Structure 1
Amino acid sequence: MSERSTPRALVMLLVAASAVVVLAGIKAVNTILGPIVLALVLVVAVAPIRGWLVRRRAPSWLVVAVPFSVVIVVLLGMVAILTTAVVQMAALLPGYSGQFNKLVADAQAWAGARGIAPQVNQALRSLDPGKMLGIAQSLVSSVLGVVSSLFLIVVLLLAMSLDAPVTSRIIAAAAAERPAITKALTTFADRTRRYLLVSTIFGLICAALDVVALYVLSVPLPLLWGVLALITNYIPNIGFVIGLVPPALLALLTGGLQSMILVIVAYMVINIVVQSFIQPKFLGDAVGLSTTVTFLSLILWATVLGPLGALLAIPLTLLTRALFIDSDPGLKWSTALVSGELPANRPGS
Structure 2
Amino acid sequence: MLSRGLRILVGLAAALIVLAGVQALSDIVGPAFLALTLVIAVGPLMTRLSRRGAPTWVVVAVPLAVVLLVLAALGLAVVVSVARFTALIPQYAAQFQHLLTEVQAYLATFGITQAQATKLFSGIEPGELVQAAAGLLSGLLGTASATVVIVLLLYGMCMDAPFLTEQLRGLASSRRDIVEALTTFTRQTCKYLLVSTLFGLIVAVLDAGALWILGVPLPLLWGLLAFITNFIPNIGFIIGLVPPALLALLDSGVGTMLWVIVVYCVLNFIIQSVIQPKFVGESAGLSVTITILSLLVWTWALGALGAILAVPLSSFVRAILLDSDPATRWATPLVAGKSSD
- Give the TM-score normalised by the residue count of structure 1: 0.92
Structure 1: gaps (5+ residues): 345-349
Match of 1:89 among 75, 81, 85: 85
Seen in structure 2, the aligned counterparts of structure 1 residues 320 and 281 have a Cα distance that, compared at 3 Å, is: closer
- Residue 98 of structure 1 aligns to which amino acid in structure 2? A
Shift of 1:235: 0.8
Matched-pair contact (CA < 8 Å) for 2:333–2:339 = yes
Matched-pair contact (CA < 8 Å) for 2:241–2:261 = yes
- Return the alpha-carbon distance in structure 2 between the equivalents of residues 31 and 282 of structure 1: 30
Structure 1 segments, 4+ long, off by >6 Å, are none
- Residue 320 of structure 2 aligns to which amino acid in structure 1? L
- Return the alpha-carbon distance in structure 2 between the equivalents of residues 241 and 284 of structure 1: 20
- Return the alpha-carbon distance in structure 2 between the equivalents of residues 35 and 196 of structure 1: 17
Q: Which moved more, 1:7-16 or 1:190-199?
A: 7-16
Match of 1:263, SS state, is helix
What residue number does 1:265 align with? 262
What residue number does 2:188 align with? 191
Aligned length: 340
Match of 1:330, SS state, is coil
Match of 2:135 among 128, 138, 144: 138
> Aligned ranges for residues 83-232 of structure 1 at < 5 Å?
83-117=79-113, 120-232=117-229
- Return the alpha-carbon distance in structure 1 between the equivalents of residues 128 and 255 of structure 2: 24
Match of 1:6, SS state, is coil
What residue number does 2:75 align with? 79
Match of 1:285, SS state, is helix
- Return the alpha-carbon distance in structure 2 between the equivalents of residues 273 and 130 of structure 1: 35
- Return the alpha-carbon distance in structure 1 between the equivalents of residues 127 and 43 of structure 2: 49
Matched-pair contact (CA < 8 Å) for 2:189–2:312 = yes
- Return the alpha-carbon distance in structure 2 between the equivalents of residues 117 and 193 of structure 1: 57
Matched-pair contact (CA < 8 Å) for 1:90–1:139 = no
Residue 237 (structure 2) pairs with residue 240 (structure 1): yes
- Return the alpha-carbon distance in structure 2 between the equivalents of residues 280 and 128 of structure 1: 38
Match of 1:62 among 58, 61, 68: 58
Measured on the aligned residues, the alpha-carbon RMSD in Å equals: 1.8
- Return the alpha-carbon distance in structure 2 between the equivalents of residues 6 and 132 of structure 1: 56
Matched-pair contact (CA < 8 Å) for 1:34–1:305 = yes
- Return the alpha-carbon distance in structure 2 between the equivalents of residues 153 and 210 of structure 1: 30
Seen in structure 2, the aligned counterparts of structure 1 residues 217 and 99 have a Cα distance that, compared at 3 Å, is: same
Shift of 1:140: 2.1
Matched-pair contact (CA < 8 Å) for 1:96–1:253 = yes
- Return the alpha-carbon distance in structure 2 between the equivalents of residues 169 and 148 of structure 1: 32
Matched-pair contact (CA < 8 Å) for 2:229–2:240 = yes
Deviations 1:222-250 (A, max 9, x none): 11111111111111111111111111111
Seen in structure 2, the aligned counterparts of structure 1 residues 343 and 165 have a Cα distance that, compared at 3 Å, is: closer
Seen in structure 2, the aligned counterparts of structure 1 residues 319 and 262 have a Cα distance that, compared at 3 Å, is: same
- Residue 64 of structure 2 aligns to which amino acid in structure 1? F
